[in-house]
Amino acid sequence: MKHLLKLLDLTGEEILHILDVAGALKAQRKAGIPHPFPPGKTLAMIFSKNSTRTRVSFETGIYQLGGHGIFLSSAESQLGRGEPIEDTARVLSRYCDAIMIRTYGQDEVEKLAQYATVPVINGLTDFAHPCQVLADLMTIREYKGKLRGLKICYIGDGNNMANSIAVGGLKCGMDVSLACPEGYDPHPAVLEFAKTVTDAAFTLTRSPEEAAQDADVIFTDVWASMGQEKEAEERRRAFEGYQVNDRVMSLAKPDCMVQHCLPAHRGEEITAEVFEAHAQEIFDEAENRLHVQKAVMFLLMGGDEEALFGKKA
């Protein structure tokens, strides 16, 4: 793994390895054991979109690894004055050991990686949210003890979360069922990928009830993401009925988990009652952003895997 741009680029084995490293780092942190990571590493963090979890988890994560994070707002940096992304990539590569970017277009992340000589991490684009779904998979495995053979259901917009959930789940041998209103399907590249999968089932339906049937995990996300505020009223009408509520949960397995990438709009995509009933799982999921992103940085920036797992060189 040279970069983390999207889960489509990874194999199922690579995804599981990231989760293994995340689990080991999480255990070390809770036991107060220093991480086997080279000191003094620097992470440049470019933000074109507002953030709570992404900024705090990456900045905290690189600090816990023994490095330093530098926050760069696109609006306040030379990117905001028109400097090409390829020039920013080459400059930051001279100063920093890795670059994380949270932005709109996937093409911007791909171009950044093309011109950078250090690892690039996708903190979120309109196409993919790989770090979030790695955290989701980590949380599911912690609660369920496995991934392969489980059924995951996503109800809502076919956005970056739906794209990454479908890809990550299928690559880990999970059956994936998505319920999206007409006109809000996942990206065509994701649907094409799903056709190639032979060891797990994929379903795209207009019925939340059908998608939720016998699910082990139910996901949802806000109806209007950042940059879609002007569409909010239109989207409310389109997504009527695409809510995770008691009726939907009754169709899933009795021990079904709920996952939400946050922030949550209670009363829209999820009821307050369902959210609070599953709050522990949802905030464990939020915490695991820290651990999986540390794992990604550990693997991309020279962490000592033999020392992490207690193996002799």
Active-site residues, by number, are 102, 129, 132, 221, 261, 289
CA distances from 266 to 160, 257, 263 (A): 20, 17, 9
Give one word for 92, left, alpha or beta, with left for phi > 0 and alpha for psi -120 to 50: alpha
Angle at 108 between CA 107 and CA 111, to 5 degrees: 85
CB 121 within 8 A of CB 46: no
Question: Strands 42-47 and 151-155: what pairing?
Answer: unpaired
Full strand arrangement of the beta sheet holding 175-179: 202-205, 175-179, 151-155, 217-220, 257-260
Residue with token string 């070390």: 28
CB 180 within 8 A of CB 206: yes
* Structural tokens at position 96: 């920093």
d(CA 96, CA 77): 16
218 contacts: CB under 8 Å, gap ≥ 6? 152, 153, 154, 155, 212, 244, 248, 249, 252, 256, 257, 258, 259
* Structural tokens at position 6: 């999207």
